[in-house]
Chains A and B, each alone.
Chain A
Amino acid sequence: MRKAFDHNNRTKRRRLGASVFDREDDSDDTDTALTASSVPNSEQHTVAGRVPISVSKNCQSSWKPRFLPGSEQEEANSALRKSDHDSEAPLQETEGSSGQSGDSEEEDDYMKMQISDSPLQDSRDITYSERRRNRERNQYQKSRPLAPQEAQRQKLKQSLDTPIISVSDNEKDDERGSSSNIALGIMKKMGFVPGKTLGRSSGPQTSIEPIRPNLKYDRNGIGMDTAQRALLHQATEAKRQEDDLQNQNYSDFITTKHTEKHISAQVLAAQKVCRELDIADRPELELVYYSSDLKGATVPRLRDINYLWRELVINDRDAAQEALLRKMIMERLETIEEVTKGGSESDKQAAAQIEQGSDNEEEEDGDNDNENNAEYEAFVDMSPAEKLEKVTEYMRTTYNYCFWCGCRYESAGDLAENCPGNAEIYH
């Protein structure tokens, strides 16, 4: 039962948040004050002084009833001429503030009550395994023997839900007994039409449905069931919306991830084609890969490489460097095992070599003229889609090559004529 001003409840609410509690506290104060002040109001009441004692005792021990005067007493009690509307009744509460006070607690209680083990899900959103698990759970529930009382109620409900006069013609009344047909036959002979009401004048409120027995198994007050149903509805609705939102986000995320991956792969492919085309055009560029071995004058500097595929070279170099490093470390380990002392010299050398290598590179990079480098950096920062656009566009304009068609056209005109356009979707 609800104990509006019970201390336990108050602590419970306190946990819910300061604002709720503050308001709660206020209304509590007014309430006590009101009850106390109201006592002298009833003049003949000689126990005025003592009443607050009992009230405060009540306050601590149990629920204290509070009432609001009916707003439409005239309507509620038509014949009773209401004499004094404003006379303050001892039990009267001033404001609706305390009326709202319980809400937070209700929600709290309600959240505890709700067991959402099977959140509402759209069937198409669940995976096969989930569906299978659901099915298994349902089967289990069906096969599990119900508690006798539960079984009773379920059967009762089922019977109450099954009309015994079927409106449609494909009657299955035989299940319900042959005399039903006899009885129905008698009624039909009197002019009864299934689906219609009896009587001469069917008013608006006449129903063909029999009145349902109200099976009340608790002592919930009037309005409680409705209020809880509304809350439950609200909460499931909110939960579903939240779930929807999450599902939405996830699928979006997955899609973008896929497309990005796809485009990145295409960028890589396009860069490779671009490299081939460039090298075919200027074969000396290929030497960039052998720079470390051939210390010749013709070795192209990194900055001379087309920024569109410079990434590839850098990545390849990084990979090669790393492989070299790993190889040297492995070798060094072997030397450590063979030579205990003398090896340290070669180690140092190797390390120096590696460092030198990287130093060289830095130097080289440092030599790059800023313009070219800026172009490259801008390119690296681009999104894959933009990169792709840039690379393919370069190939089209420079080599009349269409990445999507996978071939080189004779001329720009040929390309414009025969290639549907620079995008995957056109191909």
Chain B
Amino acid sequence: MSEEHANKRVKIMEKNGSNPYLAHMDDESADYTSSAPSRRIDPSNGGSSLFDGFARHKTTVEQASRAEDGPLNPFTERSFSEKYFTILEKRRELPVHLQRAEFLETFHKTQIMVFVGETGSGKTTQIPQFVLYDDLPQQEGKMVACTQPRRVAAMSVAKRVADELDVRLGEEVGYSIRFEDKTSNKTILKYMTDGMLLREAMNDPNLDRYSCIMLDEAHERTLATDILMGLLKEIALRRPDLKIIIMSATLDAQKFQKYFHDAPLLAVPGRTHPVEIYYTPEYQRDYLEAAIQTVLQIHATEAPGDILLFLTGEEEIEDACRKISLEADELLRETDCGQLVVYPLYGSLPPNQQQKIFDPAPGPRVKGGPPGRKIVISTNIAETSLTIDGIVYVIDPGFSKQKVYNPRIRVESLLVAPISKASAQQRAGRAGRTRPGKCFRLYTEDAFKKELNEQSYPEILRSNLSSTVLELKKLGIDDLVHFDFMDPPAPETMMRALEELNYLGCLDDDGNLTALGRLASDFPLDPMLAVMLITSPEFYCSNEILSLTALLSVPNVFVRPNNARKAADEMKNTFKHIEGDHLTLLNVYHAFKSPEAQYNPSQWCYDHFLSLRSLQSADSVRMQLKRIMERNDLDLVSTPFEDVNYFTNIRRALTSGFFMQVAKKAPNGKHYVTVKDAQDVLLHPSTVLEKEGEWVVYNEFVLTTKNYIRTVTVIKPEWLFELAPAYFDVQTFKKGDVRMSLERVLQKMQIARERAEKRARALKDGKSKSRYT
């Protein structure tokens, strides 16, 4: 989410595409006004194509170069613009270009190849173009796909490549990401997130619309890329005409080679400068403090050059920013070293602040004095996805926040953990983008060798697999146990996923996909959210649940700036619904959609401490989901607002999806206990809940210094038995307070039922009596 805004002002054009990910951020206007949109020849009218003489999978570099030199664009048959030639010149300086012949040779020979190109080699932008000129997908009526792990990357690279090919984004070159599809029937090169390709495979099991598929950044080992590799391995057998390229940025590509039956490997060196690496002589007691002191020392003693410091999260980064600014001020007063400006960079930072990291460092304070220095303190966003020019020093404390799922506690949480050696290497590399740099690691060399894993754990080992299992089921993979995982997940994780899907009714007891499961797999959502959305018409509140699902799928809508926490909290309270955070979110959304807010949304959001970006993307997610609902004939209904059950219905619908995330207040009243796993949890301080109901559903379990449940809403325990009788089978609960309470609830329900029956009988008797008397 964050990266896209971080990079708005990258000087890509003059900088030779140093960061192609950011291209889509450039002004649309600049691109096409210059190119003449005339002289369009319809390629279907039998006229001679500019690709005459090109034999599929037999082309040469010379042929391609001639075609690239123009003057007509072989894909659009329009004449190339001037800008095209400027870019072309730069493109031909890229390291990959030197090995184009080698690439084509390997590409012709084999079905599957592994391509290794380090950062800066140009692989993401150039290889797909090399393929286009050789594979000629337009002749086959097919497409070339290139997957990216991140949405931002897919969007920005597509934009950049559209520029390089001198075509309009969304026509010959397009992109497809969740909730956004910018392609047309002309599209021959499609950048997409790996998750999107996986979704497409669910409806197109052989991926027939593609003639070549490239999995880029495979070294990142995202969940979707891992599943795709397993799928492609099988599809390759069924479709010998399909070419597959696995692209990786790290040298451990042997693993990919081995996985794909010893596929040939082609490696292109990156274009980076040497980086000297320093370690501390002993371990650090407080890496944050050590990092701050290192920054100050670099500033005081090292040659000019900007600093990049990696920390783990927003709070830590803000803390460091404050401390460094204070120390720097003092340094400035006492000595006359240069000015030090500090910029934070993390996901939830507002875009205008993210852009600041691209400001150049301040100049000397006095003429001839030492120049100023810029320091960027970032999460691992800056590790791979964006490049900041001028960074010469990198400080690496060795930690990052990583998602971890553990099936034993059923919690997926972001936790601070040591990075891997590969990550450390990537971080160090950031110092050598513009000139030789230095990397200061805040740990010993011994610790580097012994404590850090070689590679980060692939995402598949760190994730809740319920979505994945549903997808695999939909893909027709019945034997999940023997699916060819590159790194198989823990059996317990698989079991939890099956269990969750079974409780949700997506899988029957034999593991077959149910109608509900099939429907749920159509939604690009977590199964719990999907089931909640699908069942919501039964509770007469699908409109509201639709909004809520969208709101839960986007980053936090509430903004809480450090300097205005109190005001922000007060403003949040104006949206408060006493029964919980979910309903509060709905209040926010409804207020946002009011004409008053829509008159000037950005001002309104600013005034109300809300994130316009999140609300807008919630809006667009809602639109997408609505379309899917309509396609599946799911009714969009609402309870009349005046009805007393308006909010109750919403809460019941919520419970029908989230019954596996219920907590009960502990007997001492101080904390909550999750019902099945019996973990002690606290309500997250951000909650609006005041009277703290006995039973709550929660959206998220957060592991920090304390265990928190975030986004909670009060429910009634009776609903649990009504809506999820299988899950709330009292016999399966451990003896204890939760079980006793549930049994009491059951008794109460039983008594109420009996009383109702008696009353009904009495009424009936009374009636019949009265009839006779």
Known: A64-B297, A189-B511. 11 other contacts (CB 8 A): A4-B282, A65-B294, A67-B281, A76-B277, A99-B281, A156-B409, A160-B408, A205-B487, A207-B490, A211-B406, A224-B285
Q: Which 8 A-B pairs rank lowest in CB-CB distance, beginning with the nearest?
A: A223-B447, A199-B488, A221-B284, A67-B278, A99-B281, A186-B511, A222-B443, A183-B499
Mark B299-310 against chain A: 1 for CB-CB distance below 8 A, else 0: 011111000000
The answer to whether B482 and A200 have CB atoms under 8 Å apart is yes
A427 within 8 A of B: no
B769 within 8 A of A: no
Q: Which of B716-737 contact A (CB under 8 A)?
A: 726-727, 729, 731-732, 734
A24 within 8 A of B: no
B273 within 8 A of A: yes
B671 within 8 A of A: yes
A183 to chain B, nearest CB (A): 4
B262 within 8 A of A: no
Q: What CA separation (Å) do A197 and B491 show in the bound complex?
A: 6
Mark B270-300 against chain A: 1 for CB-CB distance below 8 A, else 0: 1011111111111111111110011011101
The answer to whether A54 and B331 have CB atoms under 8 Å apart is yes
The answer to whether B368 and A77 have CB atoms under 8 Å apart is no
Q: What CA separation (Å) do A159 and B680 show in the bound complex?
A: 11
Complex contacts, B443 vs chain A, CB 8 Å: 221-223
Q: What CA separation (Å) do A96 and B444 show in the bound complex?
A: 12
Q: Which of B421-435 contact A (CB under 8 A)?
A: 424-425, 428-429, 432
The answer to whether B337 and A221 have CB atoms under 8 Å apart is no
- Knowing A179-B727, A200-B484, A219-B287, the reply to whether A80 touches B281 (Cβ < 8 A) is no
* Complex A-B: 27 CB contacts under 8 Å: A2-B285, A35-B301, A50-B335, A55-B297, A68-B279, A70-B278, A76-B424, A76-B425, A78-B425, A80-B272, A175-B732, A176-B732, A177-B499, A177-B732, A178-B729, A178-B732, A180-B499, A198-B490, A200-B482, A201-B484, A211-B405, A213-B703, A219-B285, A220-B286, A222-B397, A222-B447, A226-B450
Q: What CA separation (Å) do A222 and B368 show in the bound complex?
A: 41
A36 to chain B, nearest CB (A): 10
Contacts across chains A and B counted by CB atoms under 8 Å: 349
The answer to whether A96 and B707 have CB atoms under 8 Å apart is no
- Knowing A1-B289, A67-B279, the reply to whether A175 touches B680 (Cβ < 8 A) is no
Complex contacts, B727 vs chain A, CB 8 Å: 177, 179
A46 within 8 A of B: yes
A58, A99, A151: the one contacting B680 at CB < 8 Å is A151
B453 to chain A, nearest CB (A): 10
The answer to whether A102 and B406 have CB atoms under 8 Å apart is no
Complex contacts, A201 vs chain B, CB 8 Å: 484
The answer to whether A53 and B679 have CB atoms under 8 Å apart is no
Complex contacts, A221 vs chain B, CB 8 Å: 280, 283-287, 290, 397-398, 442-443
The answer to whether B297 and A91 have CB atoms under 8 Å apart is yes
Query: Which stretch of B151-159, B411-419, B760-768 is in the interface?
Result: B411-419
A398 to chain B, nearest CB (A): 78
B670 within 8 A of A: yes
A50, A182, A198: the one contacting B502 at CB < 8 Å is A182
B462 within 8 A of A: yes
Chain B: CB-nearest residue to A224: B283
Q: What CA separation (Å) do A345 and B273 show in the bound complex?
A: 117
Mark A78-106 against chain B: 1 for CB-CB distance below 8 A, else 0: 11111100000111110010110010000
A358 within 8 A of B: no
B225 to chain A, nearest CB (A): 16
The answer to whether B451 and A1 have CB atoms under 8 Å apart is no
Query: Which stretch of A121-129, A162-170, A288-296, A388-396 is in the interface?
Result: A162-170
Q: What CA separation (Å) do A68 and B440 show in the bound complex?
A: 9
A198 to chain B, nearest CB (A): 4
Q: Which of A181-215 contact B (CB under 8 A)?
A: 182-187, 189-192, 194, 196-203, 205-215
Q: What CA separation (Å) do A396 and B417 show in the bound complex?
A: 83
A259 within 8 A of B: no
A373 to chain B, nearest CB (A): 73
The answer to whether B281 and A96 have CB atoms under 8 Å apart is yes
The answer to whether B281 and A159 have CB atoms under 8 Å apart is no
How many residues from A make CB contacts under 8 Å with B? 106
A235 within 8 A of B: no
B210 to chain A, nearest CB (A): 25
A251 within 8 A of B: no
A312 within 8 A of B: no
Q: What CA separation (Å) do A235 and B406 show in the bound complex?
A: 34
Using a CB–CB distance below 8 Å, which chain A residues touch chain B?
1-2, 4, 35, 38-39, 42, 44-47, 50-51, 53-55, 57-58, 62-73, 76-83, 89-93, 96, 98-99, 102, 148-149, 151-152, 155-156, 159-160, 162-165, 174-180, 182-187, 189-192, 194, 196-203, 205-217, 219-224, 226-227
Which of B281, B294, B485, B681 counts the most chain A CB atoms within 10 A? B281
Q: What CA separation (Å) do A214 and B411 show in the bound complex?
A: 13
The answer to whether B481 and A211 have CB atoms under 8 Å apart is no
Mark B691-710 against chain A: 1 for CB-CB distance below 8 A, else 0: 00000000000010111000
Q: What CA separation (Å) do A107 and B404 show in the bound complex?
A: 34
B678 within 8 A of A: yes
Complex contacts, B277 vs chain A, CB 8 Å: 69-70, 73, 76-77
The answer to whether B478 and A92 have CB atoms under 8 Å apart is no
Q: What CA separation (Å) do A99 and B405 show in the bound complex?
A: 38
The answer to whether B290 and A159 have CB atoms under 8 Å apart is no
The answer to whether A152 and B679 have CB atoms under 8 Å apart is yes
A80, A194, A210: the one contacting B493 at CB < 8 Å is A210
Mark B746-763 against chain A: 1 for CB-CB distance below 8 A, else 0: 000000000000000000
Mark B481-501 against chain A: 1 for CB-CB distance below 8 A, else 0: 111110111111111101100
B446 within 8 A of A: yes
A64, A92, A98: the one contacting B278 at CB < 8 Å is A92
B703 to chain A, nearest CB (A): 6
B365 to chain A, nearest CB (A): 12
Complex contacts, A227 vs chain B, CB 8 Å: 283
Complex contacts, B418 vs chain A, CB 8 Å: 214, 222
Complex contacts, A70 vs chain B, CB 8 Å: 276-279, 441, 445, 448
- Knowing A47-B337, A76-B425, A164-B408, the reply to whether A190 touches B457 (Cβ < 8 A) is no
Complex contacts, A196 vs chain B, CB 8 Å: 491
The answer to whether B440 and A192 have CB atoms under 8 Å apart is no
B181 within 8 A of A: no
Complex contacts, A45 vs chain B, CB 8 Å: 301, 303, 370
Complex contacts, A42 vs chain B, CB 8 Å: 301-303
The answer to whether B440 and A67 have CB atoms under 8 Å apart is yes
Chain A: CB-nearest residue to B118: A79
- Knowing A148-B671, A222-B452, the reply to whether A83 touches B274 (Cβ < 8 A) is yes
B292 to chain A, nearest CB (A): 9
Q: What CA separation (Å) do A55 and B334 show in the bound complex?
A: 11
B503 within 8 A of A: yes
B28 within 8 A of A: no
Chain A: CB-nearest residue to B704: A217
Complex contacts, A35 vs chain B, CB 8 Å: 301
- Knowing A47-B337, A79-B270, A186-B510, the reply to whether A215 touches B415 (Cβ < 8 A) is yes
- Knowing A160-B408, A184-B495, the reply to whether A91 touches B287 (Cβ < 8 A) is no
